[in-house]
A and B are shown apart, each in its own frame.
Chain A
Amino acid sequence: MKTERNLTSIAAAMFALNFSILAFYSLICVTTTFRICDTLGAHDFLTSVRQIPRYPWQMPVQTLSLFALLCTVSFFKIFRPIEHFPLRVVICVTEIALCAGIIVSLNFYYSGVALLVLADLVHYLRSNRMRLCFILILSLMFAFGRYEIVEQFTRCIAFSAYLSYYNPIAQSCFTSLESLMVCLNILLFVLYMILLFTGQKEENARIRKLNEQLNQANDQLRDYAVNMERMTQMRERNRLAREIHDTLGHTLTGIIMGADAGLALFDVAPEESKKRIQVVAQSARDGLTDVRRSIKALRPDALEHSSLAQALEGLVENFRLTTSAQIAYYQEAGELNLDVDEEDALYRVVQEGLTNAVRHGRADRISIRVTRTGDLVTVSIRDNGIGCGTLVEGFGLRHMRERLDMLGGTLSYGNLEQGAQDGYTGFFITVGLPIRNRKGE
C-alpha cells in the first residue's frame, strides 16, 4: 500500500516535470521567434535554417493540449478501473498515440515523454506479452524520437538554431536547464521502475505464502471429512448393533428360553407345553415386527407416509419446483403393490436418475416412464442433456446397481443417439425389476 502511494507520487512528479519540459521548449521557440523578428534578424535566421518555421502558436497549443489529453486518459484509468481487456488495450494504444503526437508536435526536441507513458503503462498492464510489446514500442520511440536521428527525414528547425540567437551565457544556461530536466526525468523513471518491481516481488512472495496456507487448510479439511465419515459409520454400526441386541437378541433369548421350557414340559404337561410354544410364536412375531420397525427407521421419509406412486409424484413435483426442468412422468404400471425394499430401490433409482440428469447432464427436459409387463416393472429415464463423455460408473450408479442386484433386477444406461425424434438426446437409465408380488399373501 505504501509502495503504491510512493509510485503515485513519483508518477505525479513525472507528469509535472514533463509538463515543465514541454512548456520550456515551446516557450523558448515562441519567444525566440518574436525576439528574432523584433531585432530584425528574421532574414538571417531564415538564411541559416533554410526552412520555414511552423506557426508560432502551433507548437505550444498542439503540444500542451495533447499532453493535457494524455494526463486525462492516464488519470481516468486510475479513477475508473476497467476490467474489459480490449478496452484496456485501446486505452494503452491511445496513450502511445498521444505520446507520438507530442513528440512530433515538439519537432522531436524531446522524447522523454515516452518514458512517462512507459512507466504508466507498465504499471497498468498485467499481461506480460502485452507489456513487453508496449515496452518495445515506447523504448523505440524514446530512442529514435530524437531530432538528431530524424533530422534527415523531417523539415523541422533544430532547437539549437533557436538557442544560437542568444549570447553564450544564456545559451549555456538554457542547455544546462534542458539537460537537467531531461536527466531528472530519466532518474524519476528509473526510480519508478525499481519501486514497481520490488513492490511486485513482495506482492508475489505474499501471494505464494497465502497459497501455501490455503493448501494446508484444504488438507486439514479433507482429513476432517474422512474422520467424520468414519465416525458416522461407527455410530451407525453401534446403533445397528444396539438395535439388533435390543430387539433380535431379546426376542431370540425369549424364544430359546420359551422353546426350552416347552420341550421340558412336552412330556409331563403337554397342555402347558402348547401354551408355552404359543407364547414363543407370539414372541417371534413380535420380534419380526420389531425388526420391521427397525428397517423402517432407515427408509426414505416419503415412502414412510405414502405409497410408491404418490411418493414418486411428490418427488417429480418437488424437482419441477426446485430445478425448473420440464419433467414428463408416465405411470403406466397400474397399481403398484411392492415390497418395501423394492419400493425403496425404485424410489432411489428415480431420485438418482433425476439428480444425475440435472447435475451432470444439465438437462432441462426429462422423461420418466414406469411400465409393467407381468412380474417385471421397468423404469426408463431419458433426458436432453449433454450426456456423458466417458462412461465411468460413479458412486450413485454403483449404489443403484448394488441395490438392484440384491433384488435380482437389471440396470442399463448410456448416451442416447443424436437426432432422436422426441428430442431426448442426452442420457438414459433403464431399470428392470422382477417383483415378488406377495401382497395379499
Chain B
Amino acid sequence: MKKWFVKRNVVALLTLMLCLCLAGCVGNQETVLTIGVYSGSYWNTPNGNCYQILDDVITLFEESHPGVKVEYVSGIPANDYSEWLAEQIMKGTEPDLYFVLPEDFDLLVSSGALAQLDEWIAGDPAFDTSAYYEPCLRSGQSKGRQYALPHESVPTIMFVNKTLLEANGIDMPDNSWTWEDFYNICERITNVSLHQYGVYGYSWLDAMYSNGASLFSEDGRSCYLAEENVLQAIQFTKRLGELNGGYSVTVRDFDVGRVAFRPLLYSEYRAYQPYPWRVKKYSAFQWDCVSMPAGPSGSNISELHTMMLGISSRTRHEELAWELCKLLSIDENVQRELYTHSHGISPLPAVAEDPELLLQIHHDIPEEIGFSPDMIHRIMSNAVVAPRFDAYSQAMIMVESAIQEAAGNQLGQSGMLIAQSEINIFLNKS
C-alpha cells in the first residue's frame, strides 16, 4: 500500500516536471541573440555615439527577424574588451557573435572559440567574397580557413608636417614616393642643433612591409629574417636613425612640430583632419598624409589592421549569428553608415572607393583631397596582413633581439642567418 503510494507520487512529480519544462520551452519563444561589443573606438580616436551603428543594425535585424531579440552589454572600453571577452569565454557566457580585435584573432582561433565560417560562406549564394578587399578578408583567415569577417579596416599611413617642409623649401611628397625621396627629405630636414628631425616612429617593420617582404611564412613555420629585402629594410631604418646623431626622437618632438614625418593609423587622419578636431591635436602646424614610401623591391603599401566579427563556436543560434554578422560586414548601407560614426575604411571596395562618400568625408577638410579612390584602392588591395600564429609574439622578441645584437657587433647577413636558423628551430618545435 505504502509502496504504491510512493510510486504514484514519483510519477506525479515527474509529470509535473515534464509539464513545467514544456511550458518553459513553449513560453520562451523569443530568441535572444547576444553580441559582444566594446565602447569607444578601438583606433584610439574620439567618436560620438559608438553604439549608434549597432543600434540601427539591431533595429533592422529585429524587423526582418520577428521573434528575435538582439542584446549586448554596453560600457566595456575597447582597452578592456579582450579581458572581458576572455572572461566570458572562461565562464561559458560568451556572446553568440562578437567583435574580434586584430590582436585577439589568433588566440580565439587557436583556442577554438571561433566557429569556422567556410560552410556558411559556401552555402550562402547571397554572400560573395569578391565584394571584399582581399587583404581584409585574409585578416579573418587562419591556415586557409575563414574564422571572422572584416568589419572595418585601418591601414598605416605617413603623417607629414607641411609647415616644417614648407619652411625648409621642400615640396609635399606625392603618393608614389620612394625610400630615397624619404631619406633625402629627412636628411635635408634634420638639423640636430635646431632640434629638428626627419621622422618619428618609423620602424623596420614599416620599411619591410613597403619593401615587399614578409618576416614569416603564412603557416608560421619559417622565418625570413636573412632575406635580402628584409635586410634592406633593417639597413634603411638604421641609416635613418643615424641621421639623428644619437638622439632618440620622442612623440613630444612630433607634437610640437619639430619632426617632419610620423607613421600613423588612417583613423587618426580621419579623426583629426576635420574641424573642430584639428584644433585639438597637432594644431601647432599644418599637416597632411601620404602613403608609406616604397622600398626598392616593394611599393607604397603598409600593414592593415582589421576589426572583425566572429561567431562563437558554442552558439546555439549559429544561423541568426551568421545573418547578423553578414549584415554588419557586407551590407553596403551599414558600411556607409560606418563612415559617419567611425574612422576606418570599409572592407568593401564599393563603399570605400565611392567618390561621393569620399567627397562627403573630406567636406570639412580645407585642403585638397589627400586620398583619391585610386589611392585607397592601391593601399587597400596591396596592404600587408602580418601572419599570426601561436608563437608569433615569442618569435618577434627573438627577431628584435637578433637585430639589436647584429647592430651591436656589425655581423650583418651572417649574423642574421644564424639568428634565422635559431628562430626556425624554435618555430618548428612550438
Task: Give min CB distance, B111 to chain A, whole Å.
Answer: 5
Complex Cα–Cα for A50 and B90 (A)? 12
* Interface contact B90-A53, CB-CB below 8 Å: yes
With beta carbons under 8 angstroms apart, the residue of A46, A57, A58 that contacts B90 is A46
With beta carbons under 8 angstroms apart, the residue of B87, B112, B390 that contacts A155 is B112
The secondary structure that dominates the B interface is: helix
Indicate with 1 or 0, residue by residue over A40-78, a CB within 8 angstroms of chain B CB atoms. 101101110111111111100000000000000000000
A46 in contact with B92 given A51-B112, A52-B112, A52-B113 (CB within 8 Å): no
Cβ contacts under 8 Å, B111 to chain A? 46, 49-52
Cβ contacts under 8 Å, B107 to chain A? 43, 46-47, 50
Task: Give min CB distance, A42 to chain B, whole Å.
Answer: 4
A36 in contact with B92 given A49-B111, A50-B107 (CB within 8 Å): no
* Interface contact B89-A52, CB-CB below 8 Å: yes
A43 in contact with B113 given A33-B91, A54-B92, A56-B91 (CB within 8 Å): no
Cβ contacts under 8 Å, A33 to chain B? 90-91
Task: Give min CB distance, A380 to chain B, whole Å.
Answer: 61
With beta carbons under 8 angstroms apart, the residue of B83, B110, B112, B113 that contacts A40 is B83
* Interface contact A46-B112, CB-CB below 8 Å: no
Please tell me if B424 contacts chain A, counting CB pairs below 8 Å. Answer: no
Cβ contacts under 8 Å, B390 to chain A? 50
Task: Give min CB distance, A327 to chain B, whole Å.
Answer: 50
Closest to A44 in B: B86
Please tell me if A37 contacts chain B, counting CB pairs below 8 Å. Answer: yes
Cβ contacts under 8 Å, B90 to chain A? 33, 36-37, 42, 45-46, 53, 56
* Interface contact A42-B92, CB-CB below 8 Å: no
Complex Cα–Cα for A58 and B90 (A)? 12
* Interface contact B92-A56, CB-CB below 8 Å: yes
* Interface contact B112-A43, CB-CB below 8 Å: no
Please tell me if B235 contacts chain A, counting CB pairs below 8 Å. Answer: no
Complex Cα–Cα for A85 and B12 (A)? 34
8 Å CB contacts to B: which residues of A181-236?
Answer: none
Task: Give min CB distance, A158 to chain B, whole Å.
Answer: 14
Cβ contacts under 8 Å, A49 to chain B? 111
8 Å CB contacts to A: which residues of B57-103?
Answer: 82-83, 86-87, 89-92
Please tell me if A34 contacts chain B, counting CB pairs below 8 Å. Answer: yes
Task: Give min CB distance, A72 to chain B, whole Å.
Answer: 14
Please tell me if B313 contacts chain A, counting CB pairs below 8 Å. Answer: yes
* Interface contact B91-A45, CB-CB below 8 Å: no
Task: Give min CB distance, A54 to chain B, whole Å.
Answer: 7
A42 in contact with B83 given A52-B89, A55-B92, A56-B91 (CB within 8 Å): yes
With beta carbons under 8 angstroms apart, the residue of A43, A50, A51 that contacts B83 is A43
Task: Give min CB distance, B10 to chain A, whole Å.
Answer: 14
* Interface contact A45-B92, CB-CB below 8 Å: no
Task: Give min CB distance, A156 to chain B, whole Å.
Answer: 12
* Interface contact A42-B87, CB-CB below 8 Å: yes
Task: Give min CB distance, B316 to chain A, whole Å.
Answer: 12
Task: Give min CB distance, B145 to chain A, whole Å.
Answer: 17
Task: Give min CB distance, B299 to chain A, whole Å.
Answer: 35
Task: Give min CB distance, B314 to chain A, whole Å.
Answer: 8
Task: Give min CB distance, A243 to chain B, whole Å.
Answer: 71
Complex Cα–Cα for A78 and B110 (A)? 49
Cβ contacts under 8 Å, A57 to chain B? 92
Cβ contacts under 8 Å, A56 to chain B? 90-92
Task: Give min CB distance, A411 to chain B, whole Å.
Answer: 65
Closest to A51 in B: B111
Cβ contacts under 8 Å, B87 to chain A? 37, 40, 42
Task: Give min CB distance, A43 to chain B, whole Å.
Answer: 4
* Interface contact B313-A37, CB-CB below 8 Å: no
A43 in contact with B86 given A50-B390, A155-B112 (CB within 8 Å): yes
Complex Cα–Cα for A43 and B87 (A)? 7
* Interface contact B91-A50, CB-CB below 8 Å: no
* Interface contact B91-A46, CB-CB below 8 Å: no
Query: Could you say which of B83, B107, B390 has the most chain A C-beta atoms within 10 Å of its C-beta?
Result: B83
Closest to A58 in B: B92
* Interface contact A42-B112, CB-CB below 8 Å: no
Chosen A-B contacts, 21 in total, with CB atoms closer than 8 Å, are: A33-B90, A33-B91, A36-B90, A37-B90, A42-B86, A42-B87, A42-B90, A43-B82, A45-B90, A46-B86, A46-B107, A46-B111, A47-B107, A52-B89, A52-B112, A52-B313, A53-B90, A55-B92, A56-B90, A56-B92, A57-B92
